[in-house]
Structure 1
Amino acid sequence: RRRGRITQVVNRARTQFVGTVVREQRVFGLQIAPYTPARGIRLKRKKSDRWGEGDVVVARVLDWGTAFSPVFCEVIDRIGSGDDPRNDVQFVAQTHQLPGEFPPDVAPELARLTDQFIQQEGNRRTDLRDRRLLTIDPVGAQDHDDGISIRKLSNGWEVGVHIADVSAFVPLHSALDKEAFHRGTSVYLGDTVIPMLPEKLSAHLCSLAEGQDRLALSVLMEFDRKYRLQDWKVLPSLVRSHGFLSYQEAQKILDGEQKSPFRNDLDVLWKLARTLFRERSEWGSIDFDIPEPRIELAESGIPHTISHRERLNSHRIVEECMLLANRLIAERFGGKDGEFPFLYRIHEKPDEERMADFSRLLARLGVVPDRPELLTTPASVRDVLLKVEDSPHRNLIESLALRSMAKARYGTVAAGHFGLAFTHYTHFTSPIRRYPDLVVHRLVKAGIREETYPYDVSQLASVADWCSSREEIALKAERDYIKRKQLRWLNEQVDEVFPGVISGVIAAGIFVQLDESLAEGLVPAATLGPEFVLDEERYCWSNRKGKVTYTLGDPVQVRVVSVDLRRQRANFHLIAG
């Protein structure tokens, strides 16, 4: 691999740090995760300061120093004790500079938005309140972006995907719109939501709450008896949710374990979802099923359990309906040849070098021969993942496949979505929590009414770039929060033994991800013994005789040795045998 060295810092990405105060004699410093620069970060302290050793603080850079002298900062905010798990949300929010309270200029606009506005606007729309609209969301959710309805026709079914019409409440260039654009997306840190829209909109007036009249954009799709799409349309509507189910409740109804007036609706929707999934699988769509941690917190803020978040058939119903609606909207309103200004969700073809690395790894694991030229289409990647469905390496290989691919982003050119194998795709179904969906709603309404488009291509390109960057920040913040809580849990498990899988092999040692909690820690190379050496080509550590190897993907048992919450690291010890 090519190597280089930094000759000049042209621009600093940030001007402040969030970290833990440390003290060496009379000198205060700041420790940041994952690594504090070797030259150190010094804190200037005034007599009036009320922070001390062990506190988590926000510090502004005063002087970047040199390559050999420390960075000097001043503390501008004290979050609290770094040992208190209840400060984790604020720590992550400050680290990623997530927005706090909404600015005062949105208040007058919010005051004008009432239920009366919904009735007035609803009178000018198609009344679909007779449709048996059902929302299916996580337990405790309040921001219901979407609902699904199903109605029997003489020759098949009408399926409705009804999406909250946020654009009716948030005019372009209004104070609400400017703030929503600045935030870009809602951020979910456990049970805490940092919303894109104020609660009055996100949890009330826009949310498709049960029994309430709401404004929506409804995609009405007609399917024949074999669930083949025959026709569809999208229209501004007035809807009413007839019921809310959690994913778990919906699954119990599908399994016959719980009675519900929506039983028949769910049965038909499950048949539709299976048909839609089979259809896009034939096109080559990749179905990633990477486990996510489900964290249950005690009052102390420390997790009492961490388990896999199970993917249910009820999840698949919602997924398939939303994927179809997003694809249809992109195809129609972007134009087959991209002749209209539009905002797409793009997932480009993977980089050849990264796929070559992935191919070599698959060969080492004995999955397929090392032939990267065979991994150039979505269908070829899908086929590899199908081969490892029952393999102990499945989760690892799916994660590595995902890392080998380009990041999905927003753009103004219909470049397609590699992972889904769609030529046109957009985000239309979550306007309460994603700004791009709000933009697409405005474009769709302009197209329906044959009005002038509210954006030109250059404006949409700016929206695409900004929202892609905000999404990346949100994902990093959510991952950091999960990692902090996993480390809090691991800190309670010191000396306990857990099964896991080798998830990384580097010069410093072996990373192991635990099976159930998905928490990760390092087995330091020094603890393996002097006879072990790193074999980068084979993704393993082995002893010099080659009789014992620890290879990427191997199942292992580890003991939790220590957890450093300040540096955000955990150390494991490998249990022999």
Structure 2
Amino acid sequence: MNLEERKKIIMDIMKDKHYTPMKFKELAILLNVKKEDRKDLDFVLSELMDEGKIMLSKRGKYSIPKEQYVEGIFIGNERGFGFVETDSEEEDYFIPESDVNGAFHHDKVLIAVNPTRTGKRKEGRVIKVLSHEITEVVGFFQKNKSFGYVLPDNKKISSDIYVAGKDALGAVQGHKVVVKLTNYGTKDRKPEGKIIEILGHANDPGVDIMSIVKEYDIPAKFPPEVMEQVSGIENEVSEAEKEGRLDIRDWQTVTIDGEEAKDLDDAITLSKDNGIYTLGVHIADVSHYVKENSPLDKEAVKRGTSVYLVDRVIPMLPHKLSNGICSLNQGENRLALSCIMKINEKGTIVDHQVVETLINVDRRMTYTAVNEIVTNKNPEVMAEYSEFVDMFNMMAKLSKILRERRYGRGAIDFDFPECKIKLDEKGYPISIEPYDRNAATKIIEDFMLAANETIAEYFYWQQVPFVYRNHDKPDEDRMKALATFITNLGYSIKISKDEVHPKEIQKLLSKIEGTPEEAMISRITLRSMKRAEYTPECNGHFGLAAKYYTHFTSPIRRYPDLQIHRIIKDCINGRMTEKYKEHYKSILPQITKDCSVFERRADDAERDTEKLKKTEYMRSRIGEEYVGVVSGVTSFGVYVELPNTVEGLVHVSTMADDHYIYDENTYSMTGERTKKTYKLGQVVKIRVEGADKISRTIDFSMLQ
């Protein structure tokens, strides 16, 4: 009998209405456990107590606790209180400062749920810390006479960390450091640690970004065994590697990327004959060079994705691969895995093939240049790329056909203005500008989506283990809350049978296009949805209104794509035996889970570096006045977003002209005396009052 079966027997006994609390010996007799086996019973009871499923009274009797116990992750707050997030519940639990009981940010904890009245926020108190996730903290070193403190960059860690003089590694006042925790502290005692790395002085160029890299525990350097493996990889495709591949080097082939891109992992070909387009999406054959369980592969698994920060890229693969032999550089023979699709004039993919290919890119194009051709018809640019103009125009036409077909089924297109932050040689931000999508970026988006869907559907019906990119339907409560919110702004969405069709979201986004509240409603709508994730199961993609979806097109920078390439190549080369299927079935659940986690880590790090540089940019603009749009209204103030995507807070305490009352139903704030109202989407004039680089926050004041 295994442990879980033994736990169930004990739980069933204690849940029985006739059970009365018993001591250990009484339970042993009831269960007919021999004296020599009672240590096993003690272990099972201890496990159940650790899980909060049973309790031991002061009199030594075991029973089901009257309180409800829940396991979760503790999320700290700089003011001392915290929250506990659980896997099974949407709403988290509030933990008052007096009930944190020494829990550290991101600890796995067991909490007792406090009884609450209906409609009130759920609360709890930490009973036990089950495990610590954070082992190292990045922060600012503050030196005392014989010791020091590290003030954490992560403000969710509410306490500074004591460092004895012998453990300071020579750090001086103002250094940014990495401190390894040796003691997590208690309710009445600070955490302790020893410094293991000095990143540099807080004002040194690049130290601020590296602090974020370290804070998120993103691997920045490749270990020696990885670099040794890379050194043995040739810089050119050999004659032996060309064998057995479809040679399409004579097809007119281009890459289209941003000006600064160096890891070019997708190339495009397009032709048309008898009303049928032949679209080739050719993806770098990274899996040819990165073999499963090799040092390169093990490191790529640990990274999960490349991380694109404001001043640097932390690649998933070393530059010799990502910018070299795996990058589809102009004029170079390259190995590719191609999805070649036959598409009719209605946008239906009527046939396709997936094949290993040998390609040679004719021209490395930029989004700017292609847009100048297909949108602006710039004669100089058209003359420079004269032999490609017809193909680019054909691409624009097919792109529109595919997009309209996708929109026709209800796919949602969130068009947020991303920003481009330019830095000087010292890492200081000199400009922040919105980076808008154009016809060229949409061409690549539409073609990559077509390939991803084609691959996902084909291999789903092959009934082989696979990696899918799923986006689940939104929760009913969140959609109802969104419907209520937009109703107050004069918009509506139709919810039928307690769920919303993506077409309704699409209609809403069409209605708000070009309005002052567009960005704000788009963001709130996006937050109302679930996050896309990788799984071995195919559950569909709500946002794309697609039954089948995967990520096939970026194996240089995303591990799921690399894993998919291996599976595809095993299939098309006849290696997908039962043994291989069982192997993939065994590894994919953990790989997909880890990749989803690493993707979120990269997103968070990218967002934090942007916030950091935006704050630094606005520090030199204190006192300047701008026109912006109200992007959020809360009980403590009004958020305003400027045209360059910088967002700041007008705190209610600075709005001295009146006493403002917050209305949570309409997300608005109204003055009691003046009746002046601030609401989402409203155009306002502000002045920059402050910018705190440590907290990454910007303060505005209202001028109207």
- Give the shorter-chain TM-score range: over 0.9
Tell me which of 422, 430, 434 is aligned to 2:546. Answer: 422
Matches of 1:485 and 1:38 in 2, distance apart? 24
Is 1:107–2:227 an aligned residue pair?
yes
Matches of 2:558 and 2:606 in 1, distance apart? 15
Structure 1 residues 93 and 456 mapped into 2: Cα distance closer, same or farther (>3 Å)?
same
Structure 1 residues 307 and 329 mapped into 2: Cα distance closer, same or farther (>3 Å)?
same
Matches of 1:208 and 1:76 in 2, distance apart? 40
Structure 1 residues 146 and 41 mapped into 2: Cα distance closer, same or farther (>3 Å)?
same
Letter in 2 for 1:459: I
Moved more, 172-181 or 374-383: 374-383
In structure 1, list runs of 5 or more residues that go unmatched: none
| Match in the other structure for 2:124 | 5
Matches of 1:509 and 1:85 in 2, distance apart? 34
Is 1:335–2:454 an aligned residue pair?
no
Letter in 1 for 2:552: F
Moved more, 449-458 or 164-173: 449-458
| Match in the other structure for 1:256 | 377
With structure 1 as the length reference, what TM-score do the two structures score? 0.94
Matches of 1:571 and 1:427 in 2, distance apart? 40
Larger radius of gyration: 2
Matches of 2:518 and 2:593 in 1, distance apart? 33
| Match in the other structure for 2:199 | 79
Deviation at 1:25, TM superposition (A): 8.4
Structure 1 residues 47 and 182 mapped into 2: Cα distance closer, same or farther (>3 Å)?
closer
- Residue deviations 1:290-321, cap 9 Å, x none? 11111111222111110100101000100000
Structure 1 residues 370 and 531 mapped into 2: Cα distance closer, same or farther (>3 Å)?
farther
Structure 1 residues 32 and 567 mapped into 2: Cα distance closer, same or farther (>3 Å)?
farther
Moved more, 45-54 or 339-348: 45-54
| Match in the other structure for 1:308 | 434
Deviation at 1:9, TM superposition (A): 2.8
Is 1:463–2:591 an aligned residue pair?
yes
Give the SS at the match of 2:166. coil
Letter in 1 for 2:631: S
**Greater relative contact order (CA < 8 Å, ≥ 6 in sequence):** 1
| Match in the other structure for 2:212 | 92
Matches of 1:499 and 1:207 in 2, distance apart? 43
CA RMSD of aligned residues (A): 2.1
Matches of 2:345 and 2:168 in 1, distance apart? 75
Is the Cα contact below 8 Å between 1:137 and 1:246 reproduced in 2?
A: yes
Give the SS at the match of 2:415. coil
Is the Cα contact below 8 Å between 1:156 and 1:222 reproduced in 2?
A: yes
Matches of 1:237 and 1:390 in 2, distance apart? 44
Deviation at 1:373, TM superposition (A): 6.3
| Match in the other structure for 1:359 | 483
Matches of 1:70 and 1:370 in 2, distance apart? 53
Is 1:186–2:186 an aligned residue pair?
no
Matches of 2:158 and 2:566 in 1, distance apart? 50
Is the Cα contact below 8 Å between 2:167 and 2:194 reproduced in 1?
A: no
Alignment of 1:233-272 (within 5 A): 233-254=353-374, 255-257=376-378, 258-259=381-382, 260=385, 261-272=387-398
**% identical equivalent positions:** 35
Size of the alignment, in residue pairs? 573
Matches of 2:296 and 2:158 in 1, distance apart? 44
Matches of 2:153 and 2:405 in 1, distance apart? 45
Is 1:449–2:573 an aligned residue pair?
yes
Is the Cα contact below 8 Å between 1:500 and 1:512 reproduced in 2?
A: yes
Moved more, 563-572 or 364-373: 364-373
Is the Cα contact below 8 Å between 1:31 and 1:567 reproduced in 2?
A: no
Matches of 1:48 and 1:233 in 2, distance apart? 61
Deviation at 1:141, TM superposition (A): 1.2
Matches of 1:522 and 1:367 in 2, distance apart? 26
| Match in the other structure for 2:653 | 526
Deviation at 1:273, TM superposition (A): 0.3
| Match in the other structure for 1:62 | 182
Matches of 1:11 and 1:439 in 2, distance apart? 31
Give the SS at the match of 1:268. helix
With structure 2 as the length reference, what TM-score do the two structures score? 0.78
Letter in 1 for 2:122: R
| Match in the other structure for 1:408 | 532
| Match in the other structure for 1:323 | 449
Give the SS at the match of 2:614. helix
Structure 1 residues 246 and 51 mapped into 2: Cα distance closer, same or farther (>3 Å)?
same
Is the Cα contact below 8 Å between 1:118 and 1:215 reproduced in 2?
A: no
Deviation at 1:226, TM superposition (A): 5.5
Is the Cα contact below 8 Å between 1:356 and 1:372 reproduced in 2?
A: no
Letter in 2 for 1:435: Y
Matches of 1:77 and 1:492 in 2, distance apart? 31
Moved more, 533-542 or 40-49: 40-49
